[in-house]
Amino acid sequence: MTWSADVLTLYPEMFPGPLGKSLSGKALKKGIWSLNIYDLKEYGLGPHRSVDEKPSGGGPGMVLRADVIDTAINNCFKKDRPLIYFSPKGRPLNQDTIEKFSSTKGVSIICGHFEGIDQRVIDLHDIEEISIGDYILSGGEIATIVFLDSLVRLLPDVLGNNNSKKIETFTDGLLEYPQYTKPNEFKGMKIPDILLSGNHKVIKEWQKNQALSLTKLRRPDLIDKKKDKI
Ligand code: SAH
């Protein structure tokens, strides 16, 4: 069955955007996954199709209304899919989460804007809040594109070489070793001799050590996490 993403947004024209190109775009054309975009404005209230209101209790900006989002969810989304709201308050997104969602039938996503969405609709629908990093975006669309781009490449038959997803950064809890390709010498800099030795055992060992020292240097938190798992 085709993996599907249902997305509710104030900016339908932002999709498929980058998802229509490269790997995810090819997979979309091949029917390996499908993308259904729903316009939140269609569920807005009154002649102006209003979707937001001032925050209760004061404060800056506007909040997306619970009633508007609820009607949109009930009209657009399938009942048997996980519901995601990308939000800086959410659980940080990582490769494990992406893998988990790639083995479902698909997901439904709400793209937030302004100050976000009314808490009651999050509670009512048991929506999972996920953050793509510790910074503030102006809307959930780019977070959705980031999430779907990394998820779609994990779907069966998307990557030409199935091995390439097995040995990447994060897959084994480490950053990837440095990569080189021709020319063997570039502006006086040579590719490490080991990589040209043809000795696969030694090469593998070198790559493992490189991955380990790079991770120790840049992401000691990943080493700690790996230790926790053992
Ligand atoms: N006032 C909110 C931020 C709203 S930003 C707060 O302080 O928590 C507007 C919208 O952009 C959010 O509703 C969310 O959908 C999206 N967004 C912003 N930063 C994000 C992040 N780091 N990860 C995922 N989505 C994010």
Residue 209: CATH number of its domain: 1.10.1270.20
What atom in ligand 1 is closest to the CA of residue 85? Answer: 15
Binning pLDDT at 50, 70 and 90, where does residue 17 land? Answer: very high
Binning pLDDT at 50, 70 and 90, where does residue 160 land? Answer: confident
Query: Quick one: 127 and 221 in the same domain?
Result: no
Q: Residue 215: give the domain boundaries.
A: 162-229
pLDDT above 80 (res 3): yes
140 lines ligand 1 (CB under 6 A): yes
What distance in angstroms lies between residue 121's CA and the mean position of ligand 1's atoms?
16
What atom in ligand 1 is closest to the CA of residue 111? Answer: 15
136 lines ligand 1 (CB under 6 A): yes
Q: Quick check: is 28 in a domain? A: yes
Q: What mean pLDDT, rounded, does the chain reach?
A: 95
Joined together, the tokens standing for residue 62 give 């506007």
Q: Quick check: is 125 in a domain? A: yes
Distances (CA, A) of 227 to 106, 148, 173: 32, 29, 10
Query: Quick one: 172 and 121 in the same domain?
Result: no
pLDDT above 90 (res 225): no
Query: Quick one: 195 and 146 in the same domain?
Result: no
Ligand 1 pocket, mutate which of 52, 62, 86, 109 (most atoms under 8 A from CB): 86
Report whether 190 contacts 182 (CB < 8 A).
no
What is the per-residue pLDDT for 227? 79
For residue 72, which amino acid is it? A
Binning pLDDT at 50, 70 and 90, where does residue 162 land? Answer: low
Give the closest residue to 72 by CA, choosing from 105, 117, 115, 28.
117
Distances (CA, A) of 210 to 44, 139, 149, 230: 54, 37, 27, 21
For residue 33, which amino acid is it? W
133 lines ligand 1 (CB under 6 A): yes
- Which residue's CA is the closest to the ligand 1 atom numbered 23? 131
pLDDT above 80 (res 163): no
What is the per-residue pLDDT for 56? 98
- Secondary structure letter of residue 129 according to DSSP: E
CA distance 202 to 200: 6
Binning pLDDT at 50, 70 and 90, where does residue 166 land? Answer: low
Quick one: average pLDDT of 121-140?
Answer: 98
What is the per-residue pLDDT for 111? 98
Binning pLDDT at 50, 70 and 90, where does residue 45 land? Answer: very high
This prediction has a pTM of 0.94
What is the per-residue pLDDT for 204? 97
- 142-154 pLDDT tens trace: 999 999 999 999 9
- Which residue's CA is the closest to the ligand 1 atom numbered 26? 87
Ligand 1 pocket, mutate which of 137, 142, 145, 146 (most atoms under 8 A from CB): 137
pLDDT above 80 (res 20): yes
Joined together, the tokens standing for residue 146 give 């980031």
What is the per-residue pLDDT for 1? 79
- 110-123 pLDDT tens trace: 999 999 999 999 99
pLDDT above 90 (res 88): yes
What residues have CB less than 8 Å from 96, skipping those under 6 apart?
Answer: none
The overall longest dimension of the chain from CA atoms, in Å, is 71
Q: Give how many domains the chain has, as a whole number.
A: 2
Binning pLDDT at 50, 70 and 90, where does residue 161 land? Answer: low
Query: Quick one: 61 and 127 in the same domain?
Result: yes
Query: Quick one: 133 and 50 in the same domain?
Result: yes
What is the per-residue pLDDT for 171? 78
Query: Quick one: 169 and 113 in the same domain?
Result: no
- Which residue's CA is the closest to the ligand 1 atom numbered 4? 115
